[in-house]
Amino acid sequence: MLHRKKKPIRKLLLGILGIVSLIILTVIFNPLSPPDYQAISCLDGKFVVRAQEAEKVTGTEWTWLAAYYYVKRDYKTGDPEPTLSELISSAEVLKDSRKARENLGLTKEQWKAVQDYHKRFKRTGYLFSRAYFFPLGNVQPRYEDTWQASREGGKRVHEGTDLFAPQGTEVFAVTNGHIEKMGFNPLGGERIGLRGEDGFYYYYAHLSGYAPNLKSGMKINRGQLLGYVGHTGNAQNTPDHLHFGMCTPYGQWINPYHFLVYWSNQ
């Protein structure tokens, strides 16, 4: 009788062990682990525009082209940015994955890296799409890539892109979401934190004011007016500009520059 009573306990322990093993394997091999947003943020926005044009001509996903040239840049520094015709030629070769490695002159290691980055870009490539709206609408501001530039004598680094435009220039929501934060802080001045439906946190700082009736918690639509360019907070002694930042759903700030370049070209 005692031996029979132990069987359910043994089954229970085996079941628990199976669940624990599944969790461990899921953590190690889970295809839904946090996406590589840093890699996608390094792609040149104008390059992506051309790669997507090549996709329309050849049918080869632009993420294959992005992966190939991303790896090629790592192994062959100094190569000029490919033209549209060069991208089309590469896309034609990439159509046949069985012969692509040999025809492109890649080693097995390089081809494996291309395949890996293609998978990464497939998951995050949605950021380069017409689903997003340029934060200053049709206005073309002056801006450059100042990601991680030193600030306050090296006390901190720049985690965004400054879009220089006249005070009062309208500022818009880049995507659907809701206002998560709103109000004044010493660095950002009058600022808005938009939590997008994509999970990203979009940070708008140094505003001169807010759109009428805007309030925290409010649902926001892509392209909706949020506020106006200014120089509040620690930007009081700098030209009027919008500081725009992007934080991933996993709490990691990434460079928004190339996304802004792409969105402004749509």
Q: What are the CA-CA distances from residue 236 to residues 52, 63, 101, 243 (Å)?
A: 40, 42, 54, 13
Of 226, 227, 218, 173, whose CA–CA distance to 200 is shortest? 173
What is the model's pLDDT at position 22?
43
Answer yes or no: do 115 and 198 share one domain.
no
Answer yes or no: do 172 and 94 share one domain.
no
Task: Judge whether 196 lies within some domain.
Answer: yes
pLDDT per residue rounded down to tens, the chain (266 residues): 445 555 566 666 655 665 555 444 444 444 457 899 999 999 999 999 999 999 999 999 999 999 999 998 876 545 678 999 999 999 999 998 889 999 998 999 999 999 999 999 999 999 999 999 999 999 999 999 988 676 666 666 778 999 999 999 999 999 999 999 999 999 999 999 999 999 999 999 999 999 999 999 999 999 999 999 999 998 888 999 999 999 999 999 999 999 999 999 88
Answer yes or no: do 88 and 154 share one domain.
no
Task: Judge whether 26 lies within some domain.
Answer: no
Backbone region of residue 116 per phi and psi (left: phi > 0; alpha: psi in -120 to 50; beta: other values): alpha
Task: Judge whether 13 lies within some domain.
Answer: no
Classified as helix, coil or strand, 191 is: strand
Q: Assign residue 155 the CATH number of its domain.
A: 2.70.70.10
Answer yes or no: do 115 and 158 share one domain.
no
Answer yes or no: do 154 and 260 share one domain.
yes
End of a domain among 127, 142, 170? 127
**Separation between Cα atoms, residue 192 and residue 180, nearest integer Å:** 8
What is the model's pLDDT at position 19?
54
Answer yes or no: do 157 and 258 share one domain.
yes
Answer yes or no: do 159 and 239 share one domain.
yes
Name 68's Cβ contacts closer than 8 Å, sequence gap at least 6: 90, 94, 104, 114
End of a domain among 93, 127, 161? 127
User: Are 177 and 212 in contact, with CB atoms under 8 Å apart?
Assistant: no
What is the model's pLDDT at position 156?
66
- As a whole number of Å, the CA-based R_g of the chain is 24
End of a domain among 62, 95, 127? 127
Task: Judge whether 142 lies within some domain.
Answer: no
Residue 205 host element (H or E) = strand 201-210
Answer yes or no: do 107 and 155 share one domain.
no
Task: Judge whether 47 lies within some domain.
Answer: yes
Question: What is the domain range of residue 97?
Answer: 37-127
Answer yes or no: do 174 and 96 share one domain.
no
Please report how many Cα atoms fall inside a 13 Å half-sphere around the Cα of residue 63, on the Cβ side. 17
Answer yes or no: do 97 and 171 share one domain.
no
What is the model's pLDDT at position 33?
74
183: DSSP letter = E
**Separation between Cα atoms, residue 122 and residue 66, nearest integer Å:** 10
Answer yes or no: do 87 and 180 share one domain.
no
Domains in the chain, number: 2
Task: Judge whether 20 lies within some domain.
Answer: no
pTM of the model as a whole: 0.84
182-219 as b/e: b if 16+ CB within 10 A: beeeeebbbbbbbbbebebbbbbbbbbebbeebeeeee
Task: Judge whether 246 lies within some domain.
Answer: yes
Task: Judge whether 223 lies within some domain.
Answer: yes
